[in-house]
Amino acid sequence: MRDSVLSRRALLLGSLAFPLTFSACRRSRTSEQQVVDLVIESDGDFLAFRPDELSCRTGTMIHVTFHHTGKFLSALHNWVLVLPNQMEAVDKDAEKTDGEISPDDPRVIAWVPMCGKGERVTTQFVAPAPGDYPFFCSTPGHAVDMNGIMHVTE
């Protein structure tokens, strides 16, 4: 008798858990669908990003590919996304390390490593809270011209 009660409980719990399992799968599939690929380039050898404005929704998984499209100059470029109003400060600090970004810097949301002409580098991150986030190249002296804005919306 006890065995039969247990098995009925197990059956009840199992039947309740079954749709929940499916619901979790769907949610994870939904989050997979929210991966957004963004491609950003240097403007050839010039100090500018193409495009210099990006948009995405908060919470989206962003996959960024940065392509250094230069042909003539050996200048290195990267792409660094920082918290609002932090571009100048992060850039100033990066000058001391020849443009390298510290992986522990809490002001930095995402970045790709320095790359040379013709190279592509990638990174991914979850889009932060809604707002306008500056991005720039942290090679010393580049940020003043080579920068842009990522608009994160609701």
Partner 1 sequence: MKREKKMLAVLALIVLMLTLAAPISAAQLKSPDTVKTALRLLVQVSNDFKRQITNKNFARVPHEYMEYTEAADALRTGIKDEPADFKARVESRLKAAVAAYQKISDMSAKATDPGPLMVEHAKAVTAMNAVFDLFPADMRPDPNLPPPGGRRGGRG
Task: Please give the DSSP secondary-structure letter assigned to residue 139.
Answer: S
User: Is residue 148 a contact residue for partner 1 (CB under 8 A)?
Assistant: yes
Q: What is the dihedral angle through the alpha carbons of 127, 128, 132, 137, rounded to the nearest 10 degrees? A: -70
Q: CB of 57 within 8 A of CB of 150?
A: no
CA distances from 114 to 8, 73, 154 (A): 62, 14, 31
| Cβ-based nearer residue to partner 1, 31 or 98 | 98
Q: Which of 82, 101, 110, 152 binds partner 1 (CB under 8 A)?
A: 82
Which region among 32-40, 55-63, 101-109, 141-149 touches partner 1 (by CB under 8 A)?
141-149
| Cβ-based nearer residue to partner 1, 29 or 96 | 96
- Distance between CA atoms of residues 153 and 134, nearest Å: 14
Residues 52-71: x where in contact with partner 1 by CB under 8 A, - otherwise, as a string = x------------------x
The residues of the shown chain that bind partner 1, judged by CB under 8 A, are 43-52, 71-75, 82, 84-88, 91, 95, 132-134, 136, 140-141, 143-149
